[in-house]
Amino acid sequence: MKVYHLNCLHIASAFGSAIGHCLLLEGNNGLTLIDSGIGLAETREPEKRLGKELIETVGFKLTEENTAIYQIQKLGYHPKEVKNIICSHFDPDHIGGLADFPEAIVHTSKEEYDSFNSGNERYLPQQLSHSPEVRVYERNDSECFGLPARKLDMDFDVYLIPLFGHTPGHCGVAFENEGKWTFYVGDAYYLRAELTNKDHPVDQLATIRAVDNALRIKSLDSVRKVVENYGDTVAYFGYHDPDEFTESYNEQ
């Protein structure tokens, strides 16, 4: 299975520069995206699709070149080859690209999908207005890295790992490829430095954005434990750290 690292977002804020680290997996039965960044329509009509307040508050810098669909086509693939999209959670900067692949099946936790449909103001309902097929997973039926996990209904070994707190159903994603494991932690941390520095300034932002900060901290501690026990053999990274993206990309 080929694995591509895509940067599908650019943020410039008071906390510094951030990215949107998505993954594209090429398997025998098509392409799989892990998170999808900001979508094409949002770069063309940003205030209509995202709203001026959100753009200015977050610090979005929107370009078509950052969209997953643009990068996938540049790699020589057709958008219709994207058959599945695994979502860590449904915040706007993670699922805007879903609409660019309307035939793809969306995989997420039941807790997150229920939260999205509850009217929670952190989400943008229009990002699912294309009515994709959504498969939800609610039972911890497996274990990964010593953590409860939910095996996805796909043709390779891939799991959602509940890391709740940032949102009600936020999950990491773990998959195996040629005997090697990758652990994508989504927004369980914003910067890898949080793993060793519990007083890192970005923790203020993480606290503000968490729906349950105590649970977020517990999830972050779980990630720390995975890194302590498996960090030498498992590739791990989050969504927003630009340094991690550079490191991962250079490993291709």
Average pLDDT over residues 44-60: 92
pLDDT of residue 241: 96
The domains located in the chain, with CATH, are 2-250 (3.60.15.10)
Q: How far apart are CA 8 and CA 107, in angstroms?
A: 19
Confidence of residue 13 (pLDDT cuts 50, 70, 90): confident
pLDDT tier at 248 (50, 70, 90 boundaries)?
A: low
Q: Which helix (H) or strand (E) holds 175?
A: strand 171-177
d(CA 211, CA 69): 30
What's the whole-model pTM score?
Answer: 0.96
Ranking 49-58, 101-110, 185-194 by mean pLDDT, the lowest is 49-58
Number of helical (H) and strand (E) elements in the chain, helices listed first? 9, 12
Token pair in block for residue 191? 């910067």
End-to-end CA distance of the chain: 12
Place of tokens 């998959």: 175
pLDDT of 2 over the 80 cut:
yes
Q: What is the pLDDT of residue 15?
A: 74
Task: Output the pLDDT for position 252.
Answer: 46
Kindly report, residue by residue over 160-198, the tens digit of the pLDDT. 999 999 999 999 999 999 999 999 999 999 999 999 999
| Helix intervals (H) in the chain | 40-44, 46-49, 52-58, 68-74, 92-95, 110-116, 202-209, 213-230, 242-250
Residue 82: pLDDT over 80: yes
Residues 6+ apart with CB under 8 A from 240: 11, 18, 19, 20, 21, 187, 190, 191
* Of 42, 174, 157, the residue nearest 99 (C-alpha): 42
Q: Residue range 150-156: average pLDDT?
A: 95
Please answer whether residues 232 and 13 qualify as being in contact, where contact means their C-beta atoms are separated by less than 8 angstroms: no
pLDDT tens, position by position, 119-132: 999 999 999 999 99
Neighbours of 117 (CB within 10 A): 13
User: Two tokens at 72?
Assistant: 């996938």
Q: What is the mean pLDDT of residues 115-142?
A: 96
Q: Are 237 and 21 in contact (CB under 8 A)?
A: yes
- Mean pLDDT check: name the lowest of 3-12, 176-185, 241-250: 241-250
Q: Quick one: pLDDT at residue 246?
A: 78
**What are the DSSP calls for 53-88, one per residue?**
HHHHHHTB---GGGSHHHHHHHTT--GGGEEEEE-S
Helix 213-230 crosses helix 202-209 at what angle (to 10 degrees)?
130
Contact 34, 22 (CB under 8 A): yes
Per-residue confidence (pLDDT) for residue 249, from 0 to 100: 62
d(CA 135, CA 151): 12
